[in-house]
């Protein structure tokens, strides 16, 4: 069984203390790097579990802390101000995501090659927004990202360095409408992105998170175990292709 090294990594941005997590196989040398961007609930147990699963595939995983001090808000009313603070200061948001990628590449055992950016929910929005704005990533994986938070212009991406992309949505997600994902597809194609888009019927936002199983607003956010498993299999397959060089 693969043994993992797991340790906290403290770093700072604009005076804010950030506490990320590095997770990698014990014997990792030049392992491909994944930057895991958390959902609105922060770098909590669910994200740590995902980091471990990805590391067991042979990756060096840096789970970023976007909120600061590893805040893990537990109540719905706490989420809006945190997300709003990033979206209203887009430059700060992108700087913080970019710093996470820099810190990830500096971790022991990590390859210095372009990293893979992977995010859930708000983290999926962050991953897409970073790649869209010219972040130098090999690939981007976004699971139920809020497309209502991001812009659609991918012209900052250099075609010769355009990333591969996997995006998984609920077909009924009010935060990622058909018009929004059509614009995302069109602009990724124009930028030369090698993309996959997975749509799951009867599924809304936040469908991979067990904490949404008792959602007070099931037409907006609701856990969908079957499609959560499907999205994980798609993610795993995509990562393995990247690890094994099937994708550039």
Which of 80, 109, 85, 110 minimizes the C-alpha distance to 96? 85
Question: How confident is the prediction for the chain on average, in pLDDT?
Answer: 96
Look at residue 123 in the predicted model and tell me its pLDDT.
98
**Residue 39 dihedral angles phi and psi, to the nearest 5°:** -80, -170
Going by C-alpha positions, the residue among 162, 160, 205 that lies closest to residue 180 is 205
pLDDT at 27 over 60: yes
Q: How far apart are CA 118 and CA 128, in angstroms?
A: 9
Radius of gyration of the chain measured on its C-alpha atoms: 17
Q: What torsion do the CA atoms of 111, 116, 119, 124 make, to the nearest 10 degrees? A: 150
Q: How many CB atoms lie within 10 A of CB 153?
A: 13
Q: How far is CA 75 from CA 49, 54, 204, in A?
A: 21, 27, 20
Residues 133-150: tens digit of each pLDDT: 999 999 999 999 999 999
Q: What is the 3-state secondary structure (H, E, C) of 217-241?
A: CCCCECCCHHHHHHHHHHHHHHHHH
For the cut 70, the answer to whether the pLDDT of residue 54 exceeds it is yes
Are 142 and 167 in contact by the 8 Å Cβ rule? The answer is yes
Q: What is the tens place of the pLDDT at every residue in 193-243?
A: 999 999 999 999 999 999 999 999 999 999 999 999 999 999 999 999 999
Helix pair angle (76-87, 122-132), 10° resolution? 10
- pTM, two decimal places: 0.97
């Amino acid at each position: 069984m693969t043994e993992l090294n797991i340790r906290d990594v403290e770093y700072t941005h604009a005076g804010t203390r950030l506490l990320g997590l590095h997770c990698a196989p014990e014997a990792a040398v030049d392992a491909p790097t994944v930057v895991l961007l958390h959902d609105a609930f922060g770098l909590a147990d669910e994200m740590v579990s995902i980091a471990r699963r990805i590391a067991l595939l042979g990756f060096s995983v840096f789970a970023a802390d976007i909120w600061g001090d590893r805040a893990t808000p537990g109540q719905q009313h706490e989420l809006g101000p945190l997300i709003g603070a990033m979206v209203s200061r887009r430059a700060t948001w992108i700087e913080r995501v970019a710093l996470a990628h820099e810190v990830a590449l500096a971790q022991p055992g990590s390859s210095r090659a372009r990293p893979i950016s992977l995010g859930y929910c708000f983290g999926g929005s962050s991953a897409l927004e970073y790649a869209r704005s010219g972040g130098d990533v090999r690939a981007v994986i976004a699971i139920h990202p809020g497309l209502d938070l991001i812009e659609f212009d991918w012209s900052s991406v250099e075609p010769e360095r355009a990333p591969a992309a996997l995006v998984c949505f609920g077909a009924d997600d009010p935060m990622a409408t058909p018009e929004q994902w059509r614009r995302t597809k069109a602009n990724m194609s124009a930028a030369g992105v090698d993309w996959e888009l997975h749509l799951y019927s009867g599924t809304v936002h936040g469908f991979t998170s067990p904490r949404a199983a008792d959602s007070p607003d099931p037409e907006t956010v609701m856990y969908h175990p079957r499609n959560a498993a499907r999205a994980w299999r798609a993610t795993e397959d995509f990562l393995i292709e990247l690890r094994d060089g099937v994708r550039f």
